[in-house]
Each structure stands twice: as C-alpha cells, then as structure tokens.
Structure 1
Amino acid sequence: MKLFSRMSDIARSPGDPVVITPGPSVKPAADQMARGLGWFSLALGAFELAAPRTITRFLGMEGHENLIRAYGAREIAAGMTSLSTEKELGLWSRVFGDALDIATLMAACRYSNPKRENVALALAVVVGITLLDLGSANAQTMTHSRRKGRHRDYSDRSGFPGGAIMARGKALERQRSETTGAIR
C-alpha cells in the first residue's frame, strides 16, 4: 500500500493536499486478511469439488471422494461468508472446518496407509493454515467488536438536521399555513 502511495506522490503538485490519516474507506489488516483467506477458501473448495479423486489418491484415502466433495462445499461456503459483510462468521467457520480436516487427516495417518508421508505433509500444512485462520478470526473479532460496558451515546442527537426545536418551529409554520389556507 505504501508503494502505491509513493507512486501517486510523483504525480502530485506541490500545493496538493496530503492525506495525513486514512479515512474509513481504508480497510484494516484484519479485513484484508479475511479477504485473502476467503479467496483461498473458494479456490481450495473448487479444487476439492473438481478433483476429489486426485486428493484421495494423494492421501491414500480412495473411496472417500464424497467426503472431499462435502469438504469442498464447506470451504466454498466459508469463503463466500469471509468475503461478505459477515467476515467474522466466515473466519470462525474456517477454523472449525480446519478442525474437521485435522481430525480426518489424523484418521488417515495410520500405519496401514502407504501414503502416510503425504498425509503427514498435508497435516502440517493444515495445522499452519489453522493457526493463520485462528489468528485472523481473533483479529477480526477484536477489530469489529465493541468492548464490554461501552455503549454508543446518542443522547445528543435528535434525528432532525436543525435540532428538535427548529423541527417543531417548521411544523408549527406548516400547520399555520395550512390553517390559513383552509380558511380562504
């Protein structure tokens, strides 16, 4: 992001205003990570739906293609949710999905499996991704949740642009004009 900022400074005239602090349109790092993980989920889920035999052959889990397809659908759902306004829900669903993946891989990591080394590699990758998902879900929760005991104070707001007194004055003026107009 800083690179693009520096590049745009090249085209700036000396008198142009400079952004000192970013506005609300700049996404926090937690949102950017959620977006990246959401796209990763969509790609992984599409691969699991499109090529379950390749995955099961690699892991020595032949005959479990439908399970891999179900996990692919779950990944796509988590990815779509992570890209929506419900990022926190999507990221936590990724964490729980990772727990399912770990349990499945642990079951496949038996001595009778000739591809046990592949399963161990996949397990290491999934554990790493789980840590990333967990950190991202926690960051998302911390970034977008309100602290306990802190409530927003709207007591100074009336909902009227000029305040309640001005709104009452306008209403009285309108009522008077309607009353005088009705008499004529």
Structure 2
Amino acid sequence: MLDRTRMPSASTAHALARGLGWFSLALGAAELFAPRALTRRIGLRGQEGLVQACGAREITTGIGLLTTSQPAPWLWGRVAGDVLDLATLAAGSDGSSRRRGARGLAMAAVLGVTALDVAAALAASGTERPRRRLTYGYDRRRGFRDLPDRMRGIARDAVVPKDMRFPEKLRPWGGGGS
C-alpha cells in the first residue's frame, strides 16, 4: 500500500510530470522510429506495428504532460499504458528462449516506471489546483496622463471626422449630434 504522507509536494509532482513527459517523448520516438530493433532485442518479432502504436501513445501522453497545467489525467493515462505494455511483454513471444531474459529485464523496467507513474499520478491527483478566474490587475495603473485641470476641455475643439458623424437621417430632431 502506498503511504500518502510520503507523497511528493505539488511542485515536485508537477516537476515529476514534466520529466515523465520528456521520458514519454523519448521512449515514444524510439518505439515509433525503431520498432524492428526493439522487437528483435526483446523477442517480440512480428509485433512492430503494435510497438509503433505504443510509441504514438507515448508521444501523445508526453505532449499532454508537457502542455497541461493539470497533469493527473495524463499521468493516469501513462499508468494505463504501462499496464498494456506489461500485458504485451507477458503475452508476446517469438519462441526465442534467448530473448526471455531481455524481455524479463524490459518488464522489470516497465514495472519500475509504473511505480513512478502511480506515485506521480497519486501526488498530482491530490494536489490539483482549482482553475483561477481571470482577473485584471490594476495595481500598476498610474491614472490619468496629465493633471485633470490641464485635460479639462481639451476635446472641445476636436473636429469629428466625416465618417464618424451621424448620418443625416439618423440625427436627433434637435439638429445636433454631429
């Protein structure tokens, strides 16, 4: 059982999520662009398409983690992806007993990353910050450009451009309004 009192703080959880996002991008790129080498190494020949799909999933999750302010859903997505990866590694085999050790090592690595993903997801889930409402800050406002006495009556002599005047048919009955 995980001890919630030893979970990372909010800032640590967000930093961990960003690190896992970069890790997802790197792993996804390797799976997407070198599936044959990976499948040959761990004894999953013939599963290149599946490995590429996992790579696309990793890249999507990595982008999500790097661009969001609330990483918990993306971290839980990583956990679900880790479960799929473990199932693929456990079920898949090309019959090569030589690669069984490499596949076991890959499973151990995925289990380690899964533990990290679960800890980060739990920490981020407990530290979600509520969305802040958009407020305008007037604390740096300096006020009017000049003293009120100097600005008073300044626009009295202004000439209104012709395209900004009331059309003749829309003018009030008193004849003013230009």
Please tell me the residue identity of whatever aligns with 2:46. G
Larger Rg: 2
Structure 2 length-normalised TM: 0.64
Alignment pair present for 1:33 and 2:16: yes
Q: Would the aligned equivalents of 1:81 and 1:89 in 2 still touch at CA under 8 Å?
A: no
1:48 and 2:31 are equivalent in the alignment: yes
1:72 aligns to what SS in structure 2? helix
Correspondence 1:115 to 2:99: yes
What residue ranges of structure 2 are gaps of 5+ in the alignment? 1-9, 131-135, 139-173
Q: How many residues are paired up?
A: 126
Identity of aligned residues (%): 48
Task: State the TM-score, normalizing by the size of structure 1.
Answer: 0.62
Q: Aligned partners of 1:50, 1:113: CA distance in 2, in Å?
A: 26
SS of 1:63's partner is coil
Two-structure CA RMSD over aligned residues (Å)? 2.6
Q: Which residue of 1 is the match for residue 62 of structure 2?
A: 79
1:105 and 1:91 mapped to 2: Cα distance?
21
Deviation sequence 1:91-141 (CA, Å, 0-9, x none): 111000000000011113687543100000000000000000000000000
Indicate conservation of the 8 Å contact 1:59/1:108, yes or no.
Answer: no
CA shift at 1:61, angstroms? 1.0
* In 2: Cα distance, 1:70 partner to 1:110 partner: 19
Q: Which has the higher helix share?
A: 1
Q: 2:126 aligns with which of 132, 142, 149?
A: 142
Report the counterpart of residue 41 of structure 2 in structure 1: 58
**Where do 1:104-183 residues align within 5 Å?**
104-108=88-92, 113-144=97-128
Distance in structure 2 (CA, Å) of the matches to 1:60 and 1:105: 9
